[in-house]
Structure 1
Amino acid sequence: MKSWDERIDEVWADQSLSDRQRVEQIDVLADQRPDGDARALFERAGARDSAGLEAEAEGLYRRALDAGLDDEHRPQAVIQLASTLRNLGRTEEALEMLRSERERGGPLADAAAAFHALALASHGDPVAAVAVALETLAPHLPLYTRSVMAYARELAAPPR
């Protein structure tokens, strides 16, 4: 018998599902967990977020975080909630969440940086967005890392 996680992964991987069907199938699986289960709340939020139902997703993400997500899913929930907030026009809150998540480090720090750059652009600061994107990209370049980092710092520096 497949684990709950495997069944969740299958729903996410099934490209034949409509957004509504995905939400419904995630809800069926989430109902198999105890009320208030952080992971079930997170999956419900993600399904709604993916379906463009950001207003519904926001509260579920917050409840999942409050319920105590594990170290794998907590950063995902923070990034996804911040992206949802950006889509809802609440870029200040999104920026703060993403700044904090980037500072925490971890395996999703670069993903947090990508969404931080998007939030900066949505907030009307495309130069800072490019600086964050370049700063994040630079360590992954086979050449020119130092130059790209210097240009990113130059873009991020306050005007003289």
Structure 2
Amino acid sequence: MTTLNETWEERLAALWAALDTMPVQDFIAGVDAMAAELPQDDATGLFERGAARDSCGFPQLAIPLYQAALGAGLSGLRRRRANIQMASSLRYLGDPQIAADLLFTEMQASSDELDAAVRGFLALALADLGREREALAISLTALSTYLSRYNRSLARYAQGLVEKSTD
């Protein structure tokens, strides 16, 4: 990563840190201005523009930007974040099945620090689909990774919830 990119990322992080202290339209304009410093169809810029709109209550405007970012080759944690955030927006806007499908696919991706987030948003989508027992199992499995004790027991019991519902 070049120094310019590191500086850009630092300025972006500072802008995100100020999100709750500024009007949403000013925040979106700030992210758009930063994205304009990148090439027009840059995947990172598209993703950040989508995330800004999503975080400011405009999920319907965020989804096409997430799709464009993914189509432009978004990679790394931002790729995974785009899928999680897009699934969350889809669920919120009334399409929990597409959200669940997207997150089930994401669960097959390489493991990283966003695994619990994938499971958490998947649980929300499953609950919206009337699959509460499976949602609870996925939530408990995600929670079990953070416990200092009983994590194996909780994970086994969570798996048992799903097995009982398929008997």
Give the TM-score normalised by the residue count of structure 2: 0.89
List gaps (5 residues or longer) in structure 1.
none
CA RMSD in angstroms, aligned pairs only: 1.5
Deviations 1:36-85 (Å, cap 9, x if unpaired)?
A: 11000000000000111111100000000000112121101111111111
Residue among 61, 68, 76 paired with 2:73: 68
For 1:103, the equivalent position in structure 2 comes to 108
Alignment pair present for 1:156 and 2:162: yes
Residue among 44, 51, 66 paired with 2:49: 44
Q: How does 1:3-152 map to 2 (within 5 A)?
A: 3-14=7-18, 15-107=20-112, 108-152=114-158
Tell me if structure 2 keeps the 8 A contact 1:19–1:51.
yes
AA aligned opposite 1:103: Q
In the alignment, the residues of structure 2 paired with residue 61 and residue 153 of structure 1 have an alpha-carbon distance, to the nearest angstrom, of 32
What is the DSSP-based 3-state SS (H/G/I as helix, E as strand, rest coil) of the residue aligned with 1:81?
Answer: helix
Give the TM-score normalised by the residue count of structure 1: 0.93
How many percent identity over aligned positions?
38
Q: CA deviation at 1:159?
A: 4.4
Tell me if structure 2 keeps the 8 A contact 1:95–1:116.
yes
List gaps (5 residues or longer) in structure 2.
none
In the alignment, the residues of structure 2 paired with residue 25 and residue 74 of structure 1 have an alpha-carbon distance, to the nearest angstrom, of 22
In the alignment, the residues of structure 2 paired with residue 140 and residue 17 of structure 1 have an alpha-carbon distance, to the nearest angstrom, of 34
AA aligned opposite 1:66: G
In the alignment, the residues of structure 2 paired with residue 74 and residue 150 of structure 1 have an alpha-carbon distance, to the nearest angstrom, of 30
Deviations 1:63-109 (Å, cap 9, x if unpaired)?
A: 00000112121101111111111111111110011111112132111
AA aligned opposite 2:9: D
Tell me if structure 2 keeps the 8 A contact 1:102–1:110.
no
In the alignment, the residues of structure 1 paired with residue 136 and residue 123 of structure 2 have an alpha-carbon distance, to the nearest angstrom, of 7
Q: CA deviation at 1:116?
A: 0.8
* Count of residues in correspondence between the two structures: 160
